[in-house]
């Protein structure tokens, strides 16, 4: 697995406006620098989502279950290009058509490494056929499974240590899509808006200057 710590990411404000650039390593050093990221969910015709168990060689949250694929677009790279690049690298999948279902703005620390995650995370959905051929990279992925997203949310509540700490927020935006703002990527389709909070969900985090909510989770690490 090639390290991406030296790759550049886009630094943004809490509306997604680009402010500058930093390396992956620098963006995740405490106290953290808000930067653009994406989380992809592959969805089959039955509404199940593909979850990946992170490889044991991962330096952050190894063997935790997470969404299909995550990453950071390079400066100037579209979200569609970046997401399909990482889908190919991690899963041997793509290209796929992507729909943005929401933005996940959050801050968290990994208590073990002290690394900080402060992300403006675009949650992207791709509808894929039954029997999609996947060729996961064993340096990235330990195991794959298809899961009902509502059931997965319940499992996260009962057994959070088996799951990546960002997965709940990503799944909630899949289940209840929200409109994208004026900085939306024109290469992506946009989802129909749904309720802003899933049934039974709790409001989380603190407000940013723009009024967006920041979801605070107890542990999270950079360098995805």
pLDDT in tens, 117-140: 899 999 999 999 999 999 999 999
pLDDT at 33: 96
Q: Which pLDDT tens digit goes with each residue over 154-213? A: 999 999 989 988 899 999 999 999 876 555 677 788 776 554 333 333 333 333 444 444
Percent of the chain beyond pLDDT 90? Answer: 60
Instruction: Determine if residue 10 is labeled as part of a ligand binding site.
Output: no
119 is catalytic: yes
Residue 196 tokens read as 């802003």
Instruction: Determine if residue 109 is labeled as part of a ligand binding site.
Output: no
Catalytic residue among 10, 89, 100, 119: 119
The DSSP symbol for 145 reads E
Instruction: Over range 60-77, report the average pLDDT.
Output: 91
pLDDT at 34: 98
pLDDT at 83: 98
Instruction: Determine if residue 202 is labeled as part of a ligand binding site.
Output: no
CATH superfamily of 8-208: Nucleoside Triphosphate Pyrophosphohydrolase (3.90.79.10)
Three-class SS of residue 124? strand
Catalytic residue among 10, 69, 70, 89: 70
109 is catalytic: no
Residue 19 burial (CB count, 10 A): 12
Strands 35-43 and 116-127: parallel
pLDDT at 207: 37
pLDDT at 162: 92
Three-class SS of residue 9? strand
Better pLDDT: 59 or 80: 80
């Amino acid at each position: 697995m090639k390290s991406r710590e030296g790759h550049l990411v886009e630094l943004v404000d809490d509306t997604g406006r680009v402010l500058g650039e930093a390396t992956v390593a620098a963006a995740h050093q405490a106290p953290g620098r808000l930067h653009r990221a994406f989380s992809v969910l592959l969805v089959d015709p039955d509404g199940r989502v593909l979850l990946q168990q992170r490889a044991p060689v991962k330096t952050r949250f190894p063997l935790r279950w997470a969404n299909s694929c995550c990453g950071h677009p390079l400066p100037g790279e579209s979200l569609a290009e970046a997401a399909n690049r990482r889908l190919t690298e991690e899963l041997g999948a793509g290209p796929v058509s992507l729909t943005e279902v929401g933005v996940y703005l959050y801050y968290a620390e990994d208590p073990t490494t002290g690394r900080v995650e402060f992300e403006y995370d675009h949650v992207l959905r791709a509808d894929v056929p039954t029997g999609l051929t996947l060729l996961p990279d064993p340096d990235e992925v330990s195991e794959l499974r298809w899961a009902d997203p509502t059931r997965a949310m319940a499992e996260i509540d009962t057994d959070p240590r088996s799951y990546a700490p960002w997965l709940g927020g990503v799944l909630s935006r899949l289940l209840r899509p929200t409109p994208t703002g004026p900085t939306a990527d024109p290469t992506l389709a946009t989802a129909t808006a749904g309720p802003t909070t899933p049934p039974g969900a709790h409001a989380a985090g603190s407000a940013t200057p723009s009024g967006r909510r920041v979801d605070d989770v107890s542990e999270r690490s950079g360098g995805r």
